[in-house]
Amino acid sequence: MKLFNVLLAVSVSSVSGCMPIVEGVGTSSSTGPFGPGAGPEPPTTGGTPTTTGVLATTTTTTDDTTDTGDTDDTTGAADPPVCGNGVIEGDEACDDDIMGNGPGKLCSDNCVAATCGDGDVQASNDEACDDGPLNNALPGYGECSTMCQRGGFCGDGVVQPEGGEECEPSGGLENNCAAMCRLTPRLVFLSSKSFTGNLAGVAGADKTCNELAAASPELTGTYRAWLLVDGQALTDRFPEFNEPVAWNFTNLGADLLAKSFQDLVALGPESPVAYTELGLPRSDVEVWTNITAAGAAAGGDCAQWTSTAGPPALVGHSGFIPDQGPLALQWHDERWWTDWAGLKRACSKTRHLYCIQVGD
């Protein structure tokens, strides 16, 4: 009997030494086989026991991405205003839709109400001008007032020499008023080439003037030669200028010659006519005219400008550059430009021509 008990004790002891010790299993005591307080703290949550007696641990995975679904955010900011949709929103002062907003309108294209001084002319606000910060309380010529009304300007019906005006485009004698209220120019040039008295008649001389003008990069319009045949009057030769209309007759050096055809004839040019169709100076040369200082036919026209053997014809003088000295003064006083002291030349000799613009 003692032997059986000993064997039983040994068997139990062997089994106890071979079995793994699993915390929390098979005991309610906090005292383990190694005594109180020994070993790790028991887990606060138990595992799942396995068939081998070992607890399987449970792993929890946390995903930082959370699908909240398609829920409306009722706490978000309101949509920004849209200028041009026809609805006044946010800080917009106006909105007349995309077609109603913009330059010249009561509402700008950024939905700001148009006002005098914004640099944009709004006819709908009765603005005649708007120079922005340059608007002047006391506007001078060509300036804009702080009420967006114009000071003196070309086209207001009043000739204002202080603004460089010579005329106003209001009809009457000023019907030749061109841009910037200056008289329409009529050019007079000296031919760069010289010719005998056989010019194929006055029609041939006119053709020569227009061919020279067409070859110049600076000239437009139509031209007529400053010539008469015996018995002809200037009113017949130049009917375009029969009315006492104001013009700016100029040479191609941009010098004023006269402000009307009548002044050109009666007073002579104020400056030399000594510039060719190419704008080059050519002073102190003789010119075929057959036109006296009084503007009449002189008698002697190279057989109406068709022959080199006809009676000699009166010549003029192109003037002096610079326009100074006693000869230049005499040139002006005696109108040598068209009548050089009654001097006539043989038709076989070559002389220059004057060409006068008669049309645009």
Q: pLDDT tens-digit profile of 5-18?
A: 433 333 434 334 43
* pLDDT for res 78: 67
Residue 103 · residue 109 · CB < 8 Å: yes
Characterize 218-228 residue by residue with b for buried, 16 or more Cβ atoms within 10 angstroms of its Cβ, and e for exposed. Answer: ebeeebbbbbb
- What DSSP element (H or E) covers 229? none
* Lowest mean pLDDT segment, chosen from 182-186, 295-299, 319-323: 182-186
User: Which domains are present in the chain?
Assistant: 185-359 (3.10.100.10)
Residue 161 CA to residue 206 CA, distance in Å, equals 36
Angle, CA of 235, 238 and 239, to the nearest 5°: 65
Determine what percent of the chain is predicted with pLDDT higher than 90. Answer: 54
Tokens of 88: 């006044």
Q: Is the pLDDT at 4 greater than 50, yes or no?
A: no
Q: Is the pLDDT at 146 greater than 60, yes or no?
A: yes
* pLDDT for res 169: 81
Phi, psi torsion values for 152, nearest 5 degrees: -60, 140
* pLDDT for res 68: 45
Tokens of 182: 């200056």
In single-letter form, the type of residue at position 160 comes to Q
User: What is the mean pLDDT of the segment spanning 46-70?
Assistant: 43
| Residue 338 confidence class, pLDDT cut points 50, 70, 90 | very high
Residue 107 CA to residue 103 CA, distance in Å, equals 8
| Residue 283 confidence class, pLDDT cut points 50, 70, 90 | very high
Mean pLDDT of the chain: 81
* pLDDT for res 90: 86
Residue 77 CA to residue 235 CA, distance in Å, equals 85
Find out whether the peptide bond into 185 is cis, omega within 30 degrees of 0: no
Please indicate whether residue 157 or residue 306 has the higher confidence score (pLDDT): 306
Question: What residue ranges in 117-178 does DSSP mark as E strands?
Answer: none
Convert the pLDDT of each residue in 182-214 to its tens digit.
888 899 999 999 999 999 999 999 999 999 999
* pLDDT for res 48: 43
Tokens 């007032």: give the residue: 145
| Residue 81 confidence class, pLDDT cut points 50, 70, 90 | confident
Phi, psi torsion values for 86, nearest 5 degrees: 80, 5
Convert the pLDDT of each residue in 27-48 to its tens digit.
433 334 334 444 444 444 444 4
* pLDDT for res 46: 44
In single-letter form, the type of residue at position 71 comes to T
Q: Which of 260, 248, 288, 257 is nearest to 275 (CA)?
A: 257
Residue 360 CA to residue 347 CA, distance in Å, equals 32
Coil, strand, or helix at residue 304?
helix
* pLDDT for res 76: 54
* pLDDT for res 166: 86
What is this structure's pTM? 0.62
CA 148 to chain centre: 22
- For residue 102, CA distances in Å to 119, 133, 147 come to 13, 20, 21
DSSP class of residue 281 equals B
Characterize 281-296 residue by residue with b for buried, 16 or more Cβ atoms within 10 angstroms of its Cβ, and e for exposed. Answer: bbbebbbbbbbbbebe
User: What is the mean pLDDT of the segment spanning 45-68?
Assistant: 43
CA dihedral 211, 214, 220, 224 (to 10 degrees): -10
Residue 5 CA to residue 12 CA, distance in Å, equals 11
Residue 134 CA to residue 257 CA, distance in Å, equals 38
| Residue 92 confidence class, pLDDT cut points 50, 70, 90 | confident
Residue 171 · residue 156 · CB < 8 Å: no
Residue 189 CA to residue 7 CA, distance in Å, equals 151
User: What is the mean pLDDT of the segment spanning 52-64?
Assistant: 43
